[in-house]
Amino acid sequence: MELLQSILLALTAGTSALLIGRARRRYGEADQPALFSALLGFILTAASAACAAASLLGMDLEEAYQWLERASLLLGLPLIAVAALTLARRWVWSRPNWGRVVLGLCVFFELARQLGWSEPYAFGLMLTSALLVVYAGALQWPASLPTLAGLAAGALLLGAAPLPNGLSIVHPLGDLRPLLLAIASPLLAILLVRLPGSTREDSPAVT
């Protein structure tokens, strides 16, 4: 079951990355940094799932898998969520600004690790990402497809959020995280390509 989930996630996240990559050709320069960040998020997720599948098949990739899993949860998915927010709000951020977002996520992750807050930080970051996706989708109402895609994807991300080990609650969906993310990936791609920022005229980027 775990192997099938990993393979499915690798396929859906990889397909979503291809969709975003091909769709970028139709968009203006102002939206390129946001779409590239979302593309990076899908690539990290697909790579993590592919490494998980390879490890389950007996390949010695456990260390690479652990690194990629952390990168996809703590960098890739938040980048997708922030890209959805900026496109939904018609915000235009420059490439240096997106570089600061990536750097900030890396710095906060390391700070949480040093302070022993890695698990609460991971949960809080996933919760925030889920809420941003829901918000981006809700802004598209009454357009039904992006709204439903955003709400569903946000709910799936929330279900995939890792609970801190200190809690006495057992995560009811913990074993299904790859499956939840596999379903969420195409929904996130559908949301991204239908947000208003993806069709507007180029405008000056915020630096």
pLDDT tens digits, 50-68: 998 988 888 878 788 888 8
CA distance 34 to 94: 9
Domain ranges in the chain are 2-196
CB atoms within 10 A of CB 139: 19
DSSP per-residue letters across 176-191: GHHHHHHHHHHHHHHH
Residue 167, pLDDT score: 59
Q: For 52, what's the count of Cα atoms within 13 Å in the CB-facing half-sphere?
A: 26
- Percent share of the chain, pLDDT over 70: 89
Q: Is the peptide bond before 172 cis (omega within 30 degrees of 0)?
A: no
Give this prediction's pTM. 0.88
For residue 174, what pLDDT is reported? 65
pLDDT given for residue 3 in this prediction: 87
**Mean pLDDT for the stretch of residues 4-11:** 92
Is the separation of the CB atoms in 202 and 28 below 8 Å? Answer: yes
